[in-house]
Amino acid sequence: MEFKDHFSTQASDYARFRPRYPAELFEWLADVAPAHRCAWDAGTGNGQCAVALAARFERVVATDPSAAQLAAAETHASVSYRCERAEAPTLDDGEADLVTVAQALHWFDVPTFSAAAARVLAPGGVLAVWCYEVFATAPAIDAVVSHFYHHVIGPYWPPERRHIESGYAGLVLPFERIPTPSLALAVDWPLDALVGYLGTWSATARYRDAKGHDPLPAVHDALREVWGDPALPRRVQWPLTIHACRKPGGDR
């Protein structure tokens, strides 16, 4: 399966503007893992998930096929970054107590990755994957963003985006599922930060490449009309969809 790199050109913006996952997510992950020796974060991107895991696991292996993404990733003494695909990790059999995929599974060859995760997981280890779709703010702002998402850059979304839009519906996990919590990302952003986030969308980059101009100034102007004071922070929220399973064996 060919690696489709939709993010390297905006790697620095991806690191600056992508929202942070809630602490409750990582507390839950640490609680369900059978031990805290090693976690593998596949498709790590800017490393935000890996660094959060490092506060709870002795070491974290974070992999991504994009060297540009890894160059812009957060550093941490307990995180080892490796430029490699999720389908062919260099971890040993049974090395990881936890495998995570944050907003990246739709780029993987899922059956091949699932086999790799099954190999890498220790007995009783947990595979957890999650995604979030379009955020919600105030109705007038959401309407502008919806128009941008569906009608301006809509034709430029990669086909894999449909898996995010469905919350990974129909996903087949390699082991028996375990219950997952209901969580959401939430940030308070001024207008420029929200527009910066729109610039990290893969369809925005593909539109820019295809059309030869940037679609962000126009959506920035449209949002300014409904935002009010552009420096005024507004609450932005993304519900998380989490899927998880546990490898048989171990003490749990």
- pLDDT at position 15 is 53
pLDDT in tens, 152-187: 999 999 888 888 888 899 899 999 999 999 999 999
Residues 122 and 95: beta-carbon distance below 8 Å: yes
Mean pLDDT of the chain: 91
Q: Which pTM was predicted?
A: 0.86
pLDDT at 160: 80
CB 184 within 8 A of CB 240: yes
Residue 6 pLDDT > 90 = no
As separate numbers, helices (DSSP H) first and strands (DSSP E) second, the chain gives 10, 8
The helix/strand/coil state of 169 is coil
Mean pLDDT confidence for 220-247: 96
**In 3-state terms, what secondary structure has residue 62?**
strand
Residue-range domain boundaries for the chain: 8-246
pLDDT at 162: 85
* Residue 208 region by backbone torsions, left for phi larger than 0, else alpha for psi between -120 and 50, else beta: alpha
Averaged pLDDT for residues 46-69: 95
Q: Tell me: the pLDDT tens digits for 79-130?
A: 999 999 999 999 999 999 999 999 999 889 999 999 999 999 999 999 999 9
Residues 53/29, Cβ–Cβ less than 8 Å: yes
Return the higher-pLDDT residue of 61 and 46.
61
What is the Cα–Cα distance from 52 to 42, expressed in whole angstroms? 14
pLDDT tens digits for range 45-54 = 989 999 999 9
How far apart are alpha carbons 183 and 154 in whole angstroms? 27
pLDDT of res. 17:
62
Beta-carbon contacts of 94 under 8 Å, excluding residues fewer than 6 positions away, are: 119, 120, 121, 122, 123, 125
Q: In the chain, pLDDT over 70 holds for what percent of residues? A: 92
Q: Are 98 and 126 in contact (CB under 8 A)?
A: yes
- Predicted local distance difference test score (pLDDT) of residue 72: 87
CATH number of 8-246: 3.40.50.150
119-159 confidence digits (pLDDT tens): 999 999 999 999 998 899 999 999 999 999 999 999 999 88
